[in-house]
Amino acid sequence: MRLYAAVLVRGFRRYATYRTATLAGVFTNTVFGFVIAYTYIALWRVRPHLGGYDLGQAVTFVWLGQAMLMTTALFGGFEAELIDRIRSGDVATDLYRPADLQLWWLARDIGRAGFHLLGRGVLPMAAGGLFFPLVWPASPGVWAAFLLAVALGVVISFALRYLVALAAFWLLDGTGIVLLASLAAIFFSGMLLPLTVFPGALGVLARALPWSALLQVPADVYLGRDTGARLASALGFQAVWAVVLLGAGRLVQSAATRRVVVQGG
C-alpha cells in the first residue's frame, strides 16, 4: 500500500513541475470556455430548459467541462507511454515487479488526476465564475458527492484507457484504437453537449455508456440535479462501471501476461 501511495505522489509531482505549461493550459481552457459558453447561451436563449438545464446551469456545465477535461483525461494520458513499453517489450520487466501492473498505473494516474483537478480545474472555473453567473453548490454535502463522482470518473477513465493500452499486446499499431477511444470519450462524456440534449435513442445510449461517468454524471451531481435516491443511483452507476471495467482490465492483463510468458518475455 505504501508503494502505491509513493507512486501516486510521484504522479502528482511529475505534473506539478511544469508550471508554465499548467498556466498555458489554464489559459487555453479559459479561451475555450468562453467560446463554448456563448454558443450555449445562444442555444438556451432560444430553448430555455433544454435538456432540463436552465441557462445558468448550462453555462456552468461548460466551465465544469473545461475544468474536468484534464482531470478525467478526455484527450488521453498515460496509455501512449504504456503502449510504448508494450511495443518495446519493456513491459515484461514491469510484469515481474512486485507491484501489480494495473494498480501501479492506477496509482500514478490518480496522482496525475489530483494535480490536474487542482492545477487545471480550479483556475478555469474561477475565470468562468468571474465573467459568467455560475451555479455554486450550496451545501458541503453536494461538494463531497461531486468529489466522489469525480474520483469515480477518474477511475473509470483510467480503466477504459488501460484496456485500450493493453490492446497493444495484440494489435500491431495502437494509434487507431487510441484515437477511437478518445473520440468516444469526447463525444459520449458530454464534453461537446450535455448528453441530455442528445436526441432520442442516441441520448439513451450515451447516458448508459461508461463515458458518461467522466463528465455528465459528476456535472449533474455538482448542479444538484441528483439528490437522494437519484444521487445514490448515479454514484452506483459509476461504481458498477468502475468495477466492471477494472475487472475486465484484470482479465485482459492476465491473458496478456500469459502471452508474454509464452513468448518468453
When asked if residue 170 is in the footprint of other proteins (CB under 8 A), the reply is no
Nearer to other proteins, 87 or 250 (CB): 87
When asked if residue 183 is in the footprint of other proteins (CB under 8 A), the reply is yes
How far apart are CB 99 and other proteins at their closest, in Å?
A: 29
When asked if residue 205 is in the footprint of other proteins (CB under 8 A), the reply is no
When asked if residue 192 is in the footprint of other proteins (CB under 8 A), the reply is yes
Q: Kindly identify the residues of this chain, within the stretch 2-31, that bind other proteins according to CB under 8 A.
A: 18-21, 23-25, 27-28, 31
223 within 8 A of 201, measured Cβ to Cβ: no
Hunting for cell 499486446 — which residue is that?
A: 169
CA 257 to chain centre: 27
When asked if residue 148 is in the footprint of other proteins (CB under 8 A), the reply is no
The DSSP line for 88-130 is: HTTHHHHHTSSS-HHHHHHHHHHHHHHHHIIIIIIHHHHHHHH
C-alpha closest to that of 214 among 232, 196, 233, 187 = 187
- Which conformational region is residue 228 in: left (phi greater than 0), alpha (psi within -120 to 50 degrees), or beta? left
How far apart are CB 38 and other proteins at their closest, in Å?
A: 5
Q: Which residues bind other proteins (CB under 8 A)?
A: 18-21, 23-25, 27-28, 31-32, 34-36, 38-39, 41-43, 46-47, 50, 173, 175-176, 179-180, 182-183, 186-187, 192-193, 197-199
